[in-house]
Amino acid sequence: MAAAESDREVPSALCTEFLNFSAKDTASKWLQVTDLYKEVYQHLARYVPKIYCLGPNLNPQSEDLLAQLLLQAPLEWYLCGEDPSTGLAKLEQNNQPSQLCGHVFRVGEPTYSCRECAADPTCVLCMQCFLGSVHKEHRYRMTTSGGGGFCDCGDTEAWKKGPYCQKHEPNISDSCQEDPLAHLSTDMIARCYNVFAIVLKYAVDMLTWDKEDELPPGLEPPDRGDTYYCMLFNDEVHTYEQVIYTLQKAVNCTQKEAVSFATTVDRDGRKSVRFGDFAFCEQAKSVIVRNTSRQSKPLRVQVMHSSVVAHQCFALKALHWLGHVIGYSDALRRILCQVGLERGPEGENSSLVDTLMLCDSKMWKGARNVYHQLFMSSLLMDLKYKKLFAIQFAKARMLITEENLMTTIIRTFVDHLRHRDLQGRFQFERYTAQQAFKFRRVQSLIGDLKYVLISRPTEWSDQLREKFLEGLDTFLELFKCMQGMDPVVRQVGQHIEMEPEWEAAFTLQMKLTHIISMMQEWCATDERVLIEAYKKCLTALTHCHSGFTDGEQPITLSMCGHSVDTIRYCVSQEKVSIHLPVSRLLAGLHVLLSKMEVAYRFPEQLPLSELSPPMLIEHPLRCLVLCAQVHAGMWRRNGFSLVNQIYYYHNVKCRVEMFDKDLIMLQAGASMMDPNHFLMIVLSRFELYHIFSSADCRKSYNRENTNKDVVQQNNTLIEEMLHLIMMVVGERFEAGVGQVEGCDEIKREIIHQLCIRPMAHSELVKALPENENKETGMERVIDSVASFKKPGVTGRGLYELRPECAKQFNLYFHHYSRADQSKAEEAQRKLKRQNGEDMALPPPMLPPFSPLFASLVNILQCDVLLGMLGAVLQWAVEPSGGHWSESMLQRVLHLIGMGLLEEQQQLKNSSEDHDVSFNFTLKISRPGEAPSNTASVLALLENLQNAPHLEVHKDMIRWILKMVASIKTMRELTASTYTVTASGSHGQEEMVCDKDKAERKRKAEMARLRREKIMAQMSEMQRHFINENKELFQQSLEELYASASTSTSLEHSPTSSDAALVCVGPRRSRPREKRQVVTCILCQEEQEIRADSKAMVLAAFVQRSTVMSKNRKRPPHDPEHYDPLFMHPDLSFGTHTGSCGHIMHSHCWQRYFEAVQAKEQRRQQRLRVHTSYDVGNGEFLCPLCECLSNTVIPLLPGAKGSNSCEQPGLGQWLKISGQQIKAMHSAHRKLQPVGVDAVEETVEEQCPAPESFRIDYTPMSPYSSTIKEMLTTFGTATYKVGLKVHPNEQDPRVPIMCWGSCAYTIQSIERLLVDEEKPLFGSLPCRQDDCLSSLARFGSACWTAASQPSVQGHYIRLVAALIPDPQVETSPCILDIDMLHLLVSVVLSYGSVHSQDSSGLSVDAVQLHFFHIITVAHMVQMLLTSGPEEVTMEQESGGAEREEEEDICALYNTLRTHLGSSLPEVASGWHLWRCVKTGILPYLRGAALFFHHLNGVPTPPELHALCPGQWEVLCGYLSLPSNLLQLYHSQKELLEPLLYGWCSHPGVRQTLQGGGVLVSFPRESNSLIDLPDDYSALINQASSFTCPKSGGDKSRAPTLCLVCGSMLCSQSYCCQTELDGEDVGACTAHTFACGAGVGIFLRVRESQVLFLSGKTKGCFYAPPYLDDYGETDQGLRRGNPLHLCRQRYRKIQKLWRQHSVTEEIGHAQEANQTLVGIDWQHL
Ligand SMILES: [Zn+2]
Ligand SMILES: [Zn+2]
Ligand SMILES: [Zn+2]
Ligand SMILES: [Zn+2]
Ligand SMILES: [Zn+2]
Ligand SMILES: [Zn+2]
Ligand SMILES: [Zn+2]
């Protein structure tokens, strides 16, 4: 390994040379020489390879140090002509800071653009500038930067208003800009110029250098060794995994190293993966190439000589250095700009800046970043050069004139698409994946074009016109290649074999959409340009058609006395294409002719005579017919590719330059044709001509066809054709087509969207076309058509249509899909019904056409149309065999309505002298001509009015007949006296209406009264129900549902008994004996809960929890050896048990679970589908509510009340207990191997156990076999989950875990009640009550399923923590014990001892004694931990609590005598008492919950509300004196020794002196972290977050833990760690450390909440941030400002606090199966 050796040698060899080097001397030598360039290059050639790239592992620190010393220092000396530390400081003094902010954005940093003032959407501000700008109050858009852009603050061209923020506002004093070079001496300028020129040239040379083994002239190293690097470059083809896999093979590295290589390659664009001699590197290269060349182009690898790599490294360093140096002075910056933009020897485009930009794509990413950064700190910070630079770099139209960029871009683009058919059209199906990839890169060229066109010119120069039109020419060349591309032919017989490629063409179309629109907008700003463009476009279209019409024979059509010549062409038989960009551009320009009135002002300049209307409409018509035929099911065999194309043709992203323009072209063509001719051609293209043309089409059509499919198809085609006619006549909202304002169109779109249903802002945005600035124009008009309704905790804000806008509703709105149409129809009819109006949905009033399109209205009254209308009506009169459809009739009625409205409008607007020639009423009153002599349209309608099968259309027919009557009156009146016309006719119409209305109103009123009566009855019933089930109603509906099948006995209702209720001790109230009967949700059988009957179980979910943790830093315990008997008061880990409350027989559940298991096994074998639950881990979904569960809790009967005879007092009981424990000690010892401590045993014998304690007696379990089995099941599950171990029902820790879970669950529920401000009792959902009862009862019974000695052993150790026991060696000190856990465990374990006692000692008495002692211990615990009093809180109480204060001082002083100076002196008892009272409350409440559920004692009504006096009631219920200190003082002599024992534990002193975790009471509930109000603050925070593992790199997916506030680098290889032998992402790893397996995160870049549970489960959840429209922005795509919604954040917090996150994930995964497949563990 030669490489390794040289690595060690080099530094020492260089040492002497370096020591002798002087930067000053070198610089002065340079000042003397004539050819500085050569001299510096020689210097670099000598030193660079000695500093950089000396071995496999680079050493950046020493490299940088040496480079500074040997390379940069002499340059700086030369530059300054003196010691650079003084020289640069001098320069800095004269520095004028730039008025441009120029802040360069980090990846993910927030950027702001003002939607009102930005010159274009690329103008952005950094957060700081934005906050200090006027735009903060404007409508702004927020985005996250992809990195590399810069802040435009200070650039007056970027902003229409407010270009400066407060910070960059120019001072008036220095407004007279002086030349920055004025401060420098000419010498200095010259030197500066020299250095910059050489260094920049050197850097450019090296970075653009592409030879692997040679260096540019002048840089050849004096001696070169055989040292090479194998350099791997990134590409966009290979995946991370492929690279990692290949590297492991090629260079023999570990997976970790390979990951690190791949990460660097991805970040920097290249990375050396091997160092050594040439052959060594070449070998690695060939392996990599071989391994990656199979499916695609191989990975790029180069074997480069180390000196080349060294110089490239230094070249980057040199650019950094330039950036650093110009930071000292604006003068230096100016010089560097000059150097960079100076034209090189090769003439145009040969400056150093040009060279870099031209080679941009060849450079690796790291190099690009460095030079971009230099550009931004130099060129873009100098106002003068920013403009100059813009010419080079692309800004605004200057480019078009001076660089002819448009032409260049399109030519390049067209050149790239090489595959063409015979007509020169693109053929995308011939492209391979590799080429398709290239195609994507080419598309970015289009992006550049968009950038060029984005700001429209206000003034045109002749040169600009010329260049623009030249660009348009090239553009038309491109369009010609697209016109008619991807043609389709209808497939008959069999289905197509392969779906043809269609996406490429549509991608191209979508990319071009905005460009095409923008070009039209450019044309709209100059008449001359428009006229020329129109001519060019027409020529292009004619050219396209010359190739088209070949072979199409001419035919003559005639109908209703008209005839027309056309060609024979059938869409269903010949080629048809959906791509017609030339026609569509012409359509767009044609509308502009009308809109700009060019058509009227300069008709002579337009080639109008050359237009052939039939030619114009031909292809758009074919395309529309294609859509209709696809609709009619005629193209089913052509597969999905066609369906997709039709979908996109109408889609909002494409329709503006596709469907809309085709319709306009039809309108343009039809307006220039005889309407009869137009309609006949339409009929012919729809292949319906034969149906309507026959002499008596009204009848014969029915009999001809018997093929049902064909009839069905024709029906649909007729419907579609009628719809098309409506659109041609009725779509007048495009400015230029109709006489409308710009905003009328958007208003109409919004109205029609809202006619479907109320919509959120984002839904509307999605339904409306966006322009290139992503603006829809909606904000300008929305308030005039809709009102906004704010969102609640869920859902989002909605816009609702203003009622007065509903009359503009058009059922046949051209942008409705069929689904939209029927939804809108339903909604509008419903609305009419509610308002008591008639159900007709007549067409709305329309604006008049522009003159150019005015003749279109004649379509309505032309003979061919009337013939068609008559035919359909006739079919409706005599329906037979389904050869007719109601939608057909509905459309005909609509068309008739349009005709009538048109006539009415024209009559109203006509002036006296002008006769209205549009006479629709006359035409429809006329009967058909001979020979058929058919009935008139009107007669047919009157006929239909009474047809029983047309009930639905009656209102519409009535509306039509009324209209006819009113128009006739109008005409008569006009004939007599014009002046009264309008009002008169109106009046009559209204009279008819009024009568009708009155009747309707009466009916509506009656209906309303009926409704109200029913509502009143219902609410009465509801009130009744609520009163009866008050508790139930405090739950959410969901909980209600969940609890539907729980136990029906209302055991929690307060009893009416007068005696105060007591839940513990000998005086405890006895619950009424009653049978508890429950129903199994699986078999529906009822079952009584009894110890000896079949087991009933509750579905339950056990999980580890850190929700209440006060110490997230406690290291996780070793599960195998951890002793969980005592819980530390920091509650760092706990086990929570929850339940949905659903009850089953244990055998029903077992059968269900086995079935689920079997099903899963089969499914996994077959499909490898995942489920939301892990059966292998015992998980299942509750069969009723699908709630995630992982075990079941058996239901047990409550404790029996014992007859309490005289019970021993504390002293006596302590004695008995001590004897019992001793007896147990000796009994247990006998069980162990003999001979350990024989001596002690004899001591033991001297104190025999009391007679009544039968230590050898083994009690019988009172439970049935199934209950016993379930006791084991739940115990084992809790043990397994709680400790994260394998199940082992024999483990002595099983009961401990169950008691712990009971205590922990009680504590967490107690906290929840406090947080939710709910009373202690009566407010819990039944499911939680049931869960707590069964947990407590289970806890007291679980010893029966375990070994009695081991449970007794636990009991002994628990008691020893309170009452010193010399035989128990290690007890924790009382500061390390959570008292509620201790209370629960000791009470629940006592059962195992009591079972052997026959003295009549009652369990109640023992519970109370333990409770009292532990309560005292807790008070002592608090006194020891209460902080020093706050002086300001000093307060004398009124005397009511005087006694308590004195007592507590006494107790405290006793403690001080034991502990001495460890406890501070306290003067006031008030403070102590206050601390203890508030601190102990959670414990007392927990104890009350515990004893209530354990003993089944009813709860006092006072605790069902949040009223004062709770303390006394609570103490009473717990059998405690309300002065808790009495517990101590009344038994002082007995408790004093215990107190002494607690205090003398070495742990107490140690902890108090800071040696342990000190928890103070009360423990506050944990909250999720505080979030900022403005979301951009979070984005900003995340953007400065760097990956903790890859040294200062930006993280791609910064993710915030909402529990502890840690920021993580998620979803990235760099931060994967190992967890239980598996690689997991940062979030999953953190989930285990911070949340014991449950995690709540905010993905900052996505604005999305992430829930994780374990390694395999997760879901996304709506973030608590909303925009002003009450919507979230998941994915941050819309960019509206986002603010924190506290209500929603509280909701997330509640899910967390109530341990429902995992359940939420389960529900989300059940609802959305794709969530199951996500690799959550890698997040
Ligand atoms: Zn800025
Ligand atoms: Zn600024
Ligand atoms: Zn603004
Ligand atoms: Zn059952
Ligand atoms: Zn359930
Ligand atoms: Zn955390
Ligand atoms: Zn990372």
As a whole number of angstroms, the distance between CA 1563 and CA 1601 comes to 22
Q: Measure 1132 CA to ligand 6 centroid, in angstroms.
A: 13
Lowest mean pLDDT among 342-351, 1009-1018, 1153-1162: 1009-1018
What's the CA-to-centroid distance between 730 and ligand 7, angstroms?
A: 59
pLDDT at 151 over 50: yes
Q: pLDDT tens across 220-241, in order?
A: 887 878 889 999 988 767 777 8
Per-residue pLDDT at 1057: 47
pLDDT higher for 375 or 226? Answer: 226
Strands 228-233 and 301-305: antiparallel
Ligand nearest to the CA of 1181: 5
Nearest to 568 by CA among 681, 677, 697: 681
Least confident of 144-158, 1303-1317, 1535-1549: 144-158
Query: What digits encode the pLDDT tens for the residues 20-55?
Result: 788 888 888 988 888 888 999 999 998 888 888 777
Instruction: Please indicate whether residue 1069 or residue 1043 has the higher confidence score (pLDDT).
Output: 1069
What span, in angstroms and rounded, lies between the C-alpha atoms of 569 and 619? Answer: 11
* Interval between CA 108 and ligand 7 midpoint (Å): 15
More confident site: 1702 or 389: 1702
Q: Which ligand is nearest to the CA of 1149?
A: 4
Binned at pLDDT 50, 70 and 90, residue 897 comes out as very high
Q: How confident is the model at residue 890 (pLDDT cuts 50, 70, 90)?
A: very high
Of the bound ligands, which one is closest to the alpha carbon of residue 125? Answer: 1
- H-state helical runs in 1600-1661: 1626-1635
- What pLDDT score does 864 carry? 92
1049 versus 377: the higher-pLDDT residue is 377
- Which listed ligand is nearest to 1634 at the C-alpha? 6
Of the bound ligands, which one is closest to the alpha carbon of residue 124?
A: 1
CA of 1568 to the centre of ligand 6 (A): 10
Q: How many angstroms is it from 386 CA to the middle of ligand 1?
A: 16
State residue 1686's pLDDT score. Answer: 93
Query: Closest-lying ligand to the alpha carbon of 1588?
Result: 7
Q: Which ligand is nearest to the CA of 1140?
A: 5
Ligand 6 centre distance from Cα of residue 1416 (Å): 36
Q: What SS3 state is found at 1507?
A: coil
The model's pLDDT over 1482-1497, given as tens digits with 9 standing for 90+, comes to: 999 999 999 999 988 8
For residue 1630, the CA-to-ligand 6 centroid distance in Å is 6
Output the pLDDT for position 437. Answer: 47
Ranking 521-535, 1436-1450, 1573-1587 by mean pLDDT, the lowest is 1436-1450
Residue 798's pLDDT band, with cuts at 50, 70 and 90, is: very high
Residues found in the chain: 1723
- Rounded distance from Cα 773 to ligand 6 centre (Å): 40
In sequence order, what are the beta bridge partners of 851?
A: none
Predicted pLDDT at 318 = 92
Residue 282 near residue 253, CB atoms below 8 Å: no
Identify which of 1201, 1099, 1063 has the alpha carbon closest to the alpha carbon of residue 1490: 1063
Ligand 2: centre distance to CA 131 (Å): 9
State percent of the chain over pLDDT 90: 32
pLDDT for 1043: 39
pLDDT at 1056: 42
- pLDDT score, position 718: 94
Three-class DSSP labels, 1093-1123: CCCEEEEEEEEEECCCCCCCCCCCCCCCCCC
| Cα 140 to ligand 2 centroid, rounded to whole Å | 16
Q: How many angstroms does the Cα of residue 1088 sit away from the middle of ligand 4? A: 12
Measure 1643 CA to ligand 6 centroid, in angstroms: 13
Ligand number, closest to the Cα atom of 1097? 4
Ligand nearest to the CA of 1627: 6
The CA 1630 to ligand 7 mean position distance, Å, reads 13
pLDDT band at 662 (very low <50, low <70, confident <90, very high): very high
CA of 980 to the centre of ligand 7 (A): 82
- Helices (H), strands (E): how many in the chain? 63, 25
- Among the bound ligands, the one closest to the CA of 162: 3
Ligand nearest to the CA of 1611: 7
The reported pLDDT for the residue numbered 9 is 44
The answer, yes or no, to whether residue 1184 has pLDDT greater than 60, is yes
Per-residue model confidence as pLDDT tens digits over 1385-1408: 999 999 888 888 877 788 888 999
C-alpha 1152/C-alpha 524 separation (Å) is 72
What is the separation of C-alpha 1348 from the centre of its chain, rounded to a whole number of angstroms?
A: 54
Q: Going along 101-171, which residue ranges are E strands?
A: 110-114, 140-144
Ligand 2 center to 121 CA (angstroms): 17
Contact (CB, 8 A) for 653 and 510: yes
1144 C-alpha to center of ligand 5: Å?
Answer: 10
**Digit-coded pLDDT (tens) for 1314-1325:** 998 999 998 888
Q: Please give the pLDDT value at position 6.
A: 40
Rounded percentage of the chain residues whose pLDDT exceeds 70: 83
The DSSP bridge partners found for residue 1181 are 1188
> How far does residue 141's CA lie from ligand 3's centre (Å)?
10
pLDDT tens by residue, 763-775: 999 999 987 777 7
Give the pLDDT score at 878. 78
Provide the pLDDT confidence category of residue 1442 given band limits of 50, 70 and 90: confident
Q: What is the pLDDT of residues 573-611, one digit of tens each?
A: 888 999 999 999 999 999 999 999 888 888 888 887 778
Q: What pLDDT does residue 843 have? A: 95
Q: What is the mean pLDDT of residues 967-980?
A: 70
What own/partner pairs with CB < 8 Å and gap ≥ 24 does 1208-1216 have? 1208/1401, 1208/1405, 1210/1409, 1210/1412, 1210/1531, 1210/1534, 1211/1531, 1211/1534, 1213/1401, 1213/1405, 1213/1406, 1213/1409, 1214/1363, 1214/1409, 1214/1534, 1216/1250, 1216/1399, 1216/1401
Gap from CA of 166 to ligand 2 centroid (Å): 7
What average pLDDT score do residues 117-144 get?
85
Ligand having the closest approach to the CA of 167: 2
Residue 118 — pLDDT band, cuts 50, 70, 90? confident
The bound ligand whose nearest atom lies closest to the alpha carbon of 1095 is 4
**285-326 pLDDT tens trace:** 988 888 887 766 788 899 999 899 999 999 999 999 998 888
- Separation of CA 368 and ligand 4 centre (Å): 71
The rounded Å distance from CA 110 to ligand 1 centre is 11
Ligand that comes closest to the CA of residue 1094: 4
- pLDDT of res. 427: 63
Residue with tokens 């002083």: 1453
Cα(1135) to centroid(ligand 5), Å:
20
- The CA 1599 to ligand 2 mean position distance, Å, reads 29
The ligand placed nearest to the CA atom of residue 1145 is 4
Q: Ligand 7 centre from 1645 Cα, in Å? A: 15
Mean pLDDT throughout 1243-1254? 60
429 pLDDT higher than 60 = no
- The distance from CA 484 to its chain's CA centroid, rounded to whole angstroms, is 40
Residue 535 banded pLDDT, cuts 50, 70, 90: very high
> What is the model's pTM?
0.75
Could you report the per-residue pLDDT of 1004-1063, keeping only the tens digit for each? 666 666 555 555 554 554 444 444 444 444 443 334 334 333 433 334 444 444 568 888
Res 434 pLDDT > 60: no
* 248-269 mean pLDDT: 83
The number of the ligand nearest the C-alpha atom of 1188 reads 5
Question: Which is more confidently placed, 530 or 1174?
Answer: 530
- Tell me, what's the pLDDT at 1496? 86
Residue 1427, token pair as written in the block: 């902080």
Give the distance (Å) from ligand 1 centre to CA of residue 383: 15
- Is the Cβ–Cβ distance between 1297 and 1135 less than 8 Å? yes
pLDDT of residue 1041: 38
* Amino acid (one-letter) located at 112: Y
Residue 892: pLDDT band (50, 70, 90) is very high
* pLDDT per position as a tens digit, 900-942: 999 999 888 876 556 678 889 988 988 866 556 678 889 889 8
114 C-alpha to center of ligand 2: Å? 14
Which amino acid is it at 1236? V
pLDDT at 823 (0 to 100) = 95
Q: Which two tokens stand for residue 1497?
A: 């004692």
Q: In what order do the strands lie in the sheet with 1134-1145?
A: 1134-1145, 1096-1105, 1191-1194
Q: Is 16 exposed, middle or buried (0-12, 13-18, 19+ CB in 10 A)?
A: exposed
Q: Answer yes or no: is pLDDT of 1436 > 80.
A: no
Q: How far is the CA of 791 from the CAs of 760, 785, 794, 796, 1685, in angstroms? A: 10, 19, 7, 5, 11
CA angle 632, 945, 889 (to 5 degrees): 10
626-636 confidence digits (pLDDT tens): 999 999 999 98
Query: What is the pLDDT, as a whole number, of residue 1344?
Result: 87
Ligand nearest to the CA of 1192: 5
Q: Cα(1314) to centroid of ligand 5, in Å?
A: 26
Cα(1650) to centroid of ligand 6, in Å? 13
Residues 550-561, mean pLDDT to the nearest whole number: 79
